[in-house]
Chain A
Amino acid sequence: MDSFVPLWVLCISAILIFTVPNNFKHTISLALVAITIAFTSYWAGLALFYGFELQGLSPFSMISGDSPIVVDKLSAFFILVVNFTVLTGLLYAKGYLKSYLKTKNKHLMSIHYFSYVWLYFSMLLVTMVRGGLDFLIVWELMTISSFLLVIFDSEKEDILKTGINYLIQMHVGFLFLLVGFLFTGEFSGTISFDSMGVAFSSNELFEVFGSHGNFWLFLIFFIGFGIKAGFIPLHAWLPHAHPAAPSHVSGVMSGVMIKMGIYGILRVLTHLQSDWMEVGVFILIISILSGLYGVMMAIVQHDLKKLLAYHSIENIGIIGIGIGLGLIGIATENHPLAVLGFGGGILHILNHSLFKSLLFYGAGSVYKSTHTRELNSLGGLIKSMPKTAIFFLLGALAICGLPPFNGFVSEFLIYSGLFKSLSSANLNMSLMFLGGITSLALIGGLAIFCFTKAFGVVFLGSARCEFPIKPVEADGSMLFSKLLVAVVIVMIGVLPNLFLQPISEVVGMFVTSGGDVFAKTMHTTSQVGIISGIFILVIVVLYFMRKKQQSTVAVEYGPTWGCGYTGADPAVHQYTATSYADNYKQLTKPVVGSETEYKSFSEEEIFAPARSFVSHSHDKIEDNIINKGIAWILKTMERFAVLHTGKVQHYLIYPLVFILTLFLLTLLNII
């Protein structure tokens, strides 16, 4: 317990936030977070680079028996990812929350900062604790603190509703985890991650679940963790909760909190004893579907943050593709595939946490200066917010997986794994790999479609409507945190090997004999760095060539070419987000469920009145699973509402009936 004492002290001292005035709350939370980062990063570094795993006892040991806390390589990786995003999120929050200081009272701010810091602590603990009960406790803490963060703007009615929706769905996931852990305890004797290996190989498991017991027990955990991670069809909370939360919270939630689901899945996978193939194929298929569905839905969104939220589903899909391939690689003893699959998946966890938080911060800056997230009323912001625009563009390029940014490196690893194993596999596997390749390519193309739309409509062209307050460039602290993220994004893109070394340590937990594969891959990725360098060099050379040429000739500025007519307002003629997605919507109507409301002109109308055109799209999975399910539950519950008469006499009859029934049943020896 001793080495973890600083962490407990820090956890408790979070209460300090309640005692200081509004202006210092940010500073003190930043100090707390910074100290924690220093400690935990040190522990993580020890584990990742020196192989020294810090161990201790959890404070819950008094209730749950001796349960350890261990910082191993997997935890260390996640700790580092969490640390970075939480830090940039908090830096960003300073500027973002500035305007709220006037409208929110002291306690609300305290609760917000307190839950932010506690979200951080609980995420750290999730990656460290090993006991099942402890894990469930910190998992629940994470859910509650993120719930409090989501409902920050709870004056708006729908935000509270979204928050409660989130809370309920998380608890459905919690239920599955509980069931999973109880099974583990039943089969192995103790409820913890460490005993999972015993549970997965125990005879009882196979008696209960049949010969593919490992798969079924894993499936229970997968549903529990998958709701957090946002695999389809478990994703329904995600597109609502992210837009509702303040942007730094969305960044942290989408960047790292949903990755805790992935952490859980990876942790369970380390203990899997058989059925690698089944689990791998299952994860691969679910992930391909998540990736495609996420990005397909993202394109038809009008709300900038909702669009980004759907992209989280897509990226979780890419991570899952990596993990699924890794498992298939283990099952077929194909080491390159296993290493590259896990390597790509795990690297993509880091990458996604970076560019997604960057994009959410960008969306937050846009929202803060225009007070709208509706794409169709934005436009031309690059002139008033050039720096935000550049960072958003960087994030967009990175999320599309374009070189020389970080998204490319992880997708490159996954692709390499797929292509390398294509010719050595049997036919079914080859076709599955081909499916993986094709869908990754399609996801890439769709992401480009989506982000050209998002960036083009929000930042480029001319403004689509007048704002009462002119949009201004974001605050310095907000830009600084974006700069931090951007630097890491470019670093991973240009010098991938720096980051692949630690990743290979993490991958070593899953694949023991893959060292040479990684060495080879690093040789390849260094080439990627070289060609990126040449690319940038060519750009610079061409830029100066043009500069030289243009210094000798006339350079003029004029209106955009308007087909011979420049009288109209150019903003009216621009392509909007809806029109940009229109031809795409026609093609994918069965999937994205888009609908339009428009009454066409009839022959009798000579002087037609003004028309309106509304288009929206439904998440069909959400409609069919969540909404229909809820409707069914409500309907069933209504039948029981007959009992709820409101008269005390009736209520007293119920216990009487109950007691009598019990009495009768015992008399008849039934219970």
Chain B
Amino acid sequence: MSSLFVIIFLGTLFYLALSVNVKNYINLIGIQGLLLFGIAIFELHELNVVHLILILAETLIFKGIIVPGLLYRISKRNKISVLKNNKTHRKAKGFNMVIITALVIGLSFVFSHNQQDAHLEIQYFTAAISAMIMGILFITVNKNIIIHLISFLVIENGIFLMAIAVGSNMPMLVNAAILLDIFSSVLVLTVFLNRIGQFFQDVETDQLTELKD
């Protein structure tokens, strides 16, 4: 059953690579959160109750509901619906993105299969590596600050899967730290954009760099 979620998770990565619509990105992040919730239910049932509830709450409530909700608010208030000026999605670039995504997923599949570790759950490992690489890739090819945020969330999802892949849950403290990081970044950005969003037509990092002068 859980490989079902992994396969869909890989599918969301493809969608992420191709989408130009901010709403889609946010929905996909939400879906990923729900998928992780599903995976957590099926994989972590040996855990003690408190931990389990915490993790389930993290995936379902935080990843699946709160973060997408916040992002929705940001995009709505700042009227960002479609990525403008996005070079990655113009003409042939989107075409290349498909090839790159397929390569990333394929290679991480081969890579994780060739790991000689009996404890490793290969399917999660594949998804984890591809999610992390794709997240980094999105950040490098995109300028939009919201996409950066979403990419961080994808990377975080990758880390979560990685923890499951190596056969144990993450130490509570690390988990909390990462959560806090991401959460604060979302919060900071929300506040930031709410305050200054109206002065920018588009939230591109280039424009934000000019701010410091």
Residues of A within 8 A of B (CB): 427-428, 431, 586-587, 589-590
Contacts and interface: CB of A to CB of B under 8 A. Distances in A.
B92 A589 contact: yes
A587 B91 CA distance: 8
Contacts of A428: 110, 113-114
Contact of A431 (B91, B92, B96, B110): B110
B88 to A, nearest CB: 14
Contacts of B109: 431
14 contacts: A427-B110, A427-B113, A428-B110, A428-B113, A428-B114, A431-B106, A431-B109, A431-B110, A586-B91, A586-B92, A587-B92, A587-B95, A589-B92, A590-B96
Interface in B105-126: 106, 109-110, 113-114
Nearest to A590: B96
A590 B93 CA distance: 11
A427 B110 CA distance: 8
Contacts of A587: 92, 95
Contacts of B92: 586-587, 589
Nearest to A427: B113
Nearest to A589: B92
The 3 closest A-B pairs by CB, nearest first: A586-B92, A587-B92, A427-B113
A587 B106 CA distance: 21
Nearest to B106: A431
A590 B96 CA distance: 10
Nearest to A435: B106
B87 to A, nearest CB: 14
A426 to B, nearest CB: 9
Interface string B64-107: 00000000000000000000000000011001100000000010
Nearest to B113: A427
Nearest to A428: B110
A431 B109 CA distance: 10
Most-contacted residue by chain A among B92, B109, B110 (CB, 10 A): B92
B114 to A, nearest CB: 7
A431 B106 CA distance: 9
Contacts of B113: 427-428
Contacts of A590: 96
Nearest to B107: A431
Contacts of B91: 586
Nearest to A432: B110
Given A586-B92, A587-B95, A589-B92, 11 more contacts: A427-B110, A427-B113, A428-B110, A428-B113, A428-B114, A431-B106, A431-B109, A431-B110, A586-B91, A587-B92, A590-B96
A590 B109 CA distance: 26
A246 to B, nearest CB: 39
A427 B112 CA distance: 11
A442 to B, nearest CB: 12
A65 B116 CA distance: 55
A427 to B, nearest CB: 5
Nearest to A426: B113
B10 to A, nearest CB: 15
A433 to B, nearest CB: 13
Contacts of B96: 590
A589 B91 CA distance: 11
Nearest to A434: B106
A557 to B, nearest CB: 41
Contacts of B95: 587
B78 to A, nearest CB: 33
Contacts of A589: 92
Nearest to A586: B92
A589 B96 CA distance: 10
A470 to B, nearest CB: 42
Nearest to A585: B92
Contacts of A586: 91-92
Contacts of B106: 431
A276 to B, nearest CB: 21
A596 to B, nearest CB: 14
Contacts of A427: 110, 113
Nearest to B109: A431
Nearest to B122: A427
A427 B96 CA distance: 26
A428 B92 CA distance: 30
A587 B109 CA distance: 26
A446 B7 CA distance: 30
A586 B90 CA distance: 11
A586 B110 CA distance: 31
A587 B96 CA distance: 8
Contacts of A431: 106, 109-110
A27 to B, nearest CB: 56
B95 to A, nearest CB: 5
Contacts of B114: 428
Nearest to A431: B110
A185 to B, nearest CB: 40
